[in-house]
Amino acid sequence: MSNIIHFIKELPSLNNVDQYGVYPLSLNHFGHLHVFMIHEGDQDFLIATGIGSNQFQGELFQEGEYSYVKAPLNNNNANTLRDLFPFTKPIPVLSKLRSFGVGDRLGIATEGHIRVFKDYDAYPILAQQSIRELALTNRTYKDVLDAASFSVFRDGYKKGFGADGDHLKKPAEVEMALNLGFTMITLDCSDFIRNDVSNMSKDQVNKECILEEDIKNRYLTHDFEVEGMKISFDEEELKRNVLVYGKAIDFAVQIYTDYFADGKTDANFEISIDETATPTTPTQHYFVANELTLRGIKLDTMAPRFCGEFQKGVDYIGDIKQFEEELKIHAAIARHYGYKLSIHSGSDKFSIFSLIGKHTRGHFHVKTAGTNWLEAMRAVAATNPKLYREIHKYALSMFEEAKKFYHVTTDLTKIADVDTLKDNELVDLFKQNDARQLIHITYGFILNAKNTDDSFRFKTKLYDLWREQREVYAEMLNSHIGKHLELLYSGFEK
């Protein structure tokens, strides 16, 4: 008799679950239907047994009076799972007090992320990917969502998670993500934000922007006060704001009206104005928030671009005092208009997390992505030095090409030569900013590198290794992302 049949026979007593290759926390029931997940060789499968098991697509096994369906982890079975067990389906989480985005570009990080969020009341966005990340990882939004659903099912995470269509720029992208059940859209307005205005002379500004009477009345006749802080506009500044953000505001209104207004969807709406050439001043933030509100837009979160530099995968660079002063006002404006601040490029910003927790009074959305990939590569450095060295050298060779897509100040000469490092010193590279950024920005190149026979040069080996070392990766994420949360929480009283 097969192991699974043994397990099914013992189901009523629920003893010795893990002895049969069953993930112990995956056992769930829907009426007389029992569903759980097993690992077999290097693959996971769903097993469904009892009344309704035919809802899953897969191979039917029968022994005597017992039968079960062994179902592969595909989109169809993910949909069935989400229908039967609502905890595997994403929910809108931005409206909760605290939320935290953890990009899982590789589709393997959720196991580690879940460990973190078992300990914190912040809601995780487990599925979160931009269109660019999809292209570089050859994944679809279906893959991203399914990977999250299967992971929460396997690991018994039932507290709820979100799914973020991150940095979407086109109506069709928004529509696709919402149709697939994503519960949050991050609308990237950067195509409509003018970056040339800060360099324009007063004359040019006057020539390009003629203010209508109502907007003059709205902003120039009085000052504004937010939590005791004064915000005021002069005519030139107002014109500059109109020029920089006018089209972006129209775009946001359009998307909101088409996809969100009047309960069209049960998803959260975030506006990102962070991918711009200059930081968002508090006055600009106020202007955008006020205009959107007047036009009936209900934001859940907004991501301004803060002063200083939020480079990928390294700590905050800049004047922390100034950051804190501006953060106070940004947070107050967000509270005033009833949404949360969203902090993008939040990976590894350890020196400011406590301030973010403090000045948002614990109401924040923080987004990370690249750091989860870096931890995956750190796991490679820790467990397969030979493969890591090869990838590291390849990354060095692709760095100039990769740099075109990112703003980083990486100095390759500061990175130790991997051939002179002992095996057990390789992980220390991930403590060094230049090495972090090298591996961070070359992820697309690393994953897509091909051999002459068109097979993947690293990708297959990497996934095999991550599968083998899943416990190592999960624990690395648990402690690394956990450190983010710990510092954020240190800033406020629960």
Which residues here bind Zn ion, judged by CB under 5 A?
272, 274, 344
How would you classify the pairing of strands 162-168 and 123-130?
A: parallel
Contact 205/243 with Cβ under 8 angstroms? yes
Active-site hit among 133, 155, 164, 166: 166
Nearer to Zn ion, 166 or 375 (CB): 166
β-bridge mates for residue 66, sequence order? 63
Nearer to Zn ion, 239 or 367 (CB): 367
Q: How far is the CB of 115 from Zn ion (least distance, A)?
A: 26
Q: Is 493 helix (H, G, I), strand (E, B) or coil?
A: coil
What is the amino acid identity at position 371?
A: T
Active-site hit among 270, 300, 326, 348: 270
Q: How far is the CB of 334 from Zn ion (least distance, A)?
A: 16
Place of tokens 């018994």: 156
Nearer to Zn ion, 226 or 488 (CB): 488
Torsion angle of alpha carbons 345, 349, 355, 357, nearest 10°? 60
End-to-end CA distance of the chain: 53
Q: How far is the CB of 40 from Zn ion (least distance, A)?
A: 40
Contact 445/396 with Cβ under 8 angstroms? no
Per-residue b or e along 281-315, where b marks 16 or more CB atoms closer than 10 Å to that residue's CB: bbbbbbbbbbbbeeeebebbbbbbbbbbebbbbbe
Q: How far is the CB of 369 from Zn ion (least distance, A)?
A: 9
Per-residue b or e along 18-27, where b marks 16 or more CB atoms closer than 10 Å to that residue's CB: eebbbbebbb
Q: How far is the CB of 155 from Zn ion (least distance, A)?
A: 28
Nearer to Zn ion, 146 or 274 (CB): 274
Question: What one-character DSSP code corresponds to residue 170?
Answer: S
Please report, for residues 72, 102, 259, 460, the alpha-carbon distance to residue 146 in angstroms, rounded to integers and kept in the order given: 12, 15, 23, 20
Q: How far is the CB of 59 from Zn ion (least distance, A)?
A: 43
Nearer to Zn ion, 282 or 304 (CB): 304
Nearer to Zn ion, 10 or 309 (CB): 309
Both tokens of 118, joined, read 């078992």
Both tokens of 110, joined, read 């959720």
- The span from the CA of 351 to the CA of 358, in Å, is 13
Both tokens of 475, joined, read 């624990």
Question: Residue with the closest Cβ to Zn ion?
Answer: 344
Q: Is 166 marked active-site?
A: yes
Indicate which residues carry an active-site annotation. Answer: 166, 270
